[in-house]
Structure 1
Amino acid sequence: MEILEANNLSHSFDYKLFDDVSFSLNKKERIAIIGMSGSGKSTLLHIISSLLKPQSGSVKLFGEDIYNLNKSKLAEIKRDKIGLVFQSHYLFRGFSAYENLEVAEILSQQPIDEELLKRLDIEHCIKQKVTELSGGQQQRVSIARVLTKKPEIIFADEPTGNLDSKTAHEVMELFFEYCDKNDAGMVLVTHDTGLAQLCDKVYRLEDKELKREK
């Protein structure tokens, strides 16, 4: 079942980033988008995850054309069905790591999974302020926050960029287990071709086109 449908997306800033991009995502499916820096990967991810309106084309999430929805309906989808992981963590820096997770717990009405904290190796530092954590620890807290929401689609932009290779693969295994268990899909933007090959499909954004590689 399609949970994401991108149709004929085009976008420019000072120059054309991409043109006539189309693809879809099904439940339990993991898609990777790779390409050189500046090719438009992150911009494409922002568009399909409801953060940036495309200059042309459409995006449907769960059958809803998101850029034709009213603000309250779009906010509901973002709150209840979408999980966003970025290399910049966007944690509440005045809060502890646990308080950041509590925000997700309150908004989604989903309990914090203590086993998830152990899998991410953050249970020992969860009471510390975000500013006291390393970049890798902050990244793992942001991943725990997203998975606490129980989203139906995970959009991840270089989610393992601050992690060593071993931890990166462990985190990807965790994402994949989550998708399988919860019928969720995932779109991953990455420079790491090894991680990309773990996904069901791989697309390369190059020369303004999105091309299927796997």
Structure 2
Amino acid sequence: MELLKGVNLTHAYDYTLFENVSLSVGEGESIAILGVSGCGKSTLLHILCTLLKPNSGEVIYGGRSIYELSSDERLKIRRNDFGIIFQSHYLFKGFSSGENIELAAKLTNNAIDDEILKKLQIEHTLKQGVGELSGGQQQRVSIARILCKKPRIIFADEP
């Protein structure tokens, strides 16, 4: 079953980054977007997860053209159905790692999954401030934050 589809996506700044890119992702399927630095991989991910509107083309999720929805409807999809792991961790600096994970879980009415914490080997860091963690630990907290939301789709930009 098709979960997400990009149709003839084009994006340009002062130059064309990519043109007429189409792809589809089915339930339980994983895909990778490969290319040299600066070719538009992150931009394409941002378009697919509703953070950036393409110059042309459409993204279809749940049978609906996502950029025809209101910004509130797109936010709801991003919050509940999509998990986005950015290149930068975007953790809340004044919070502990556990509070960062808990906040994401609460926003989607989920609980922190202890098994995820064990698999990512961060269960011992939950009371530490994010500034006290190594870069790898911060990235694993960021990943745990997304996995505890239990999203239908995970977008990972160089995790």
| Band of TM-score, shorter chain | over 0.9
Provide the C-alpha distance between the structure 1 equivalents of 2:63 and 2:156, rounded to a whole number of angstroms.
21
1:66-104 deviations in Å (ceiling 9; x for gaps)? 111012211111111000001200111110000001111
Provide the C-alpha distance between the structure 2 equivalents of 1:113 and 1:14, rounded to a whole number of angstroms.
45
Q: Tell me by how many angstroms 1:36 deviates.
A: 0.2
- CA RMSD, Structure 1 to Structure 2 (Å): 0.7
- Partner of 1:130 in structure 2? 130
Q: Tell me by how many angstroms 1:65 deviates.
A: 0.9
| Matching of residue 145 in structure 1 with residue 145 in structure 2 | yes
Provide the C-alpha distance between the structure 1 equivalents of 2:127 and 2:69, rounded to a whole number of angstroms.
39
| Matching of residue 52 in structure 1 with residue 43 in structure 2 | no
- Give SS of 1:155's match: strand
Q: Which TM-score applies when normalising by structure 1?
A: 0.73
Q: Which amino acid aligns with 1:87?
A: Q
- The count of aligned residue pairs is 159
Q: How does 1:149-188 map to 2 (within 5 A)?
A: 149-159=149-159
- Give SS of 1:34's match: coil
Write out the 4+ residue segments of structure 1 that deviate beyond 2 Å after TM superposition: none
Provide the C-alpha distance between the structure 2 equivalents of 1:158 and 1:108, rounded to a whole number of angstroms.
25
Q: How does 1:33-48 map to 2 (within 5 A)?
A: 33-48=33-48
Provide the C-alpha distance between the structure 2 equivalents of 1:71 and 1:49, rounded to a whole number of angstroms.
13
Q: Tell me by how many angstroms 1:43 deviates.
A: 0.5
Q: Which amino acid aligns with 1:27?
A: E
Provide the C-alpha distance between the structure 1 equivalents of 2:56 and 2:100, rounded to a whole number of angstroms.
36
Once structures 1 and 2 are overlaid, which stretch shifts more, 36-45 or 61-70?
61-70
Provide the C-alpha distance between the structure 2 equivalents of 1:11 and 1:88, rounded to a whole number of angstroms.
22
Provide the C-alpha distance between the structure 1 equivalents of 2:155 and 2:50, rounded to a whole number of angstroms.
10
Structure 2 gaps of 5+ residues are none
